[in-house]
A and B are shown apart, each in its own frame.
Chain A
């Protein structure tokens, strides 16, 4: 398999990045150190190249209807410039992917949407949307723009000031509220500028033509720390945000939004693929749910480790790391609901030894 390289591959290489494969893309994992990048985002500002994320545009007279029938949240609530976190589900209610859906300015009198699925899923999502469109005989366009667009995230307490400074219209930036977005020019390049992110900090995500990637990146990278996927992972985990393929995985560990703790992405008033299964689970309650935990002894729990209570395996760790902010080993795990209360004592099996851990509220840190 050949890897997709982000438009900024050479720029990152020159800056000393080490790379990793993620979702079929060769992406920077760290520039200097995960810890310093993590701290920069918590205390100041950092910029991430997230061009590996999918970008699909759904337009046309039935675009809204198509999106509403294939995602769990209620797209009809979005006005132009709004966005929402949502999921794409299988019939059985398990999460295939999570996504942010943005409503773009209307096109030809119709609502237009950009949605951002996870890295490497854009082809499958495009196929899924087009197949259902044809099956339901809807008049909608589904365009996979993943390689046509670049995307960066500027995150951290100083991000709003920095993004306003670098833009051609600081007032427009100030007017963008949380989960809102609009087109703003940066050095003449029109960027879809959204106050969203994956770090638990304030900040923006910018989507722009791939050809302008270097111009946009360097406009920020000289005044804030370039960050890789390593710190992106520690930041999102501290913020209690899910990682696709790890905290839910259609093949290995299928989970519903209720089990994954993101029931707020489900609008049962709409009719979507997976709705009936979720309605049933909503009524009976889930047997297991995703919880945060902190390891109390020495040791770090990682993806795939067992959760034990009284020497019996009761669950699975889906994510785990040493939290740079808290200097404690933190993680996420699915456990039976009777163990889900914060403060509950559980054990995690790390290399054949049980380490004491305690269920903790998520997010692990105060987030914006």
Chain B
């Protein structure tokens, strides 16, 4: 089975992705991660205005069978939370890189983004 790993973003080893655009970073989980979890039924996320550090446990994603902690690929102030996931957590399965996004952050340090895996390195990791 092969998984989508878009090259326009970076990955944490724990399967979160971070995509930067004009200093705003969007965060979600990878196609591989959603497939491993199975049917996502619950997502717990921080509130807008909270500041999270790189590698912080910032939330939880639960499928029917498993509970999984979410770790911040980069740090920053939370500027948006995908509230649609509270009513439709299955978006994480259906569109992990699009409608299934979780947070937007104001990026604090570019270096944090550079410390993450690129698509090729992440592909090697899950192979």
Residues of chain A whose beta carbon lies under 8 Å from any beta carbon of chain B: 16, 29-30, 33-35, 230, 233-234, 298-300, 302, 321-322, 324, 329, 351
Contact B67 A34 (CB under 8 A): no
Complex: A24 Cα to B38 Cα, angstroms: 23
Of all chain A residues, which has the CB nearest B64? A34
Residues of B within 8 A of A29 (CB): 65
Contact B67 A322 (CB under 8 A): no
With A298-B86, A351-B60 as known contacts, state yes or no: A33 contacts B65, CB within 8 Å: no
Of all chain A residues, which has the CB nearest B43? A298
Of all chain B residues, which has the CB nearest A302? B67
Residues of A within 8 A of B118 (CB): none
The number of residue pairs between A and B whose CB atoms lie closer than 8 Å in the complex comes to 38
How many residues of B are in contact with the other chain, CB < 8 A? 13
Q: Is the interface of A mostly helix, strand, loop or mixed?
A: mixed
Contact B38 A34 (CB under 8 A): yes
30 of the cross-chain contacts (CB-CB < 8 Å) are A30-B38, A30-B65, A33-B38, A33-B39, A34-B39, A34-B63, A34-B64, A34-B65, A35-B39, A35-B64, A230-B38, A230-B64, A230-B65, A233-B65, A298-B42, A298-B44, A298-B86, A299-B44, A300-B41, A300-B42, A300-B62, A300-B67, A302-B67, A321-B64, A322-B41, A322-B42, A322-B64, A324-B39, A324-B64, A351-B44
- B51-74: which have CB < 8 Å to A? 60, 62-65, 67
Of all chain B residues, which has the CB nearest A32? B38
Residues of chain B whose beta carbon lies under 8 Å from any beta carbon of chain A: 1, 38-39, 41-42, 44, 60, 62-65, 67, 86
Of all chain A residues, which has the CB nearest B35? A18
Contact A234 B64 (CB under 8 A): yes
Residues of A within 8 A of B44 (CB): 298-299, 351
Residues of A within 8 A of B64 (CB): 34-35, 230, 234, 321-322, 324
Rounded to whole Å, the gap between the CB of A332 and the closest CB of chain B is 16
Of all chain B residues, which has the CB nearest A34? B64
- Interface-central residue, B39, B62, B86, by most chain A CB under 10 Å: B39
Q: Which 7 A-B pairs have the closest CB atoms?
A: A322-B41, A35-B39, A34-B64, A230-B65, A33-B39, A300-B42, A34-B39
Residues of B within 8 A of A298 (CB): 42, 44, 86
Of all chain B residues, which has the CB nearest A229? B65
Residues of A within 8 A of B67 (CB): 300, 302
User: Besides A35-B64, A298-B44, A300-B41, 13 other CB < 8 A contacts?
Assistant: A16-B1, A34-B63, A34-B64, A34-B65, A35-B39, A230-B65, A233-B65, A298-B86, A300-B42, A300-B67, A302-B67, A321-B64, A324-B64
Residues of B within 8 A of A16 (CB): 1
Residues of B within 8 A of A321 (CB): 64
Residues of A within 8 A of B41 (CB): 300, 322
Rounded to whole Å, the gap between the CB of A301 and the closest CB of chain B is 11
Residues of A within 8 A of B1 (CB): 16
Rounded to whole Å, the gap between the CB of A115 and the closest CB of chain B is 29
Complex: A298 Cα to B63 Cα, angstroms: 14
Complex: A34 Cα to B62 Cα, angstroms: 13
Complex: A324 Cα to B40 Cα, angstroms: 11
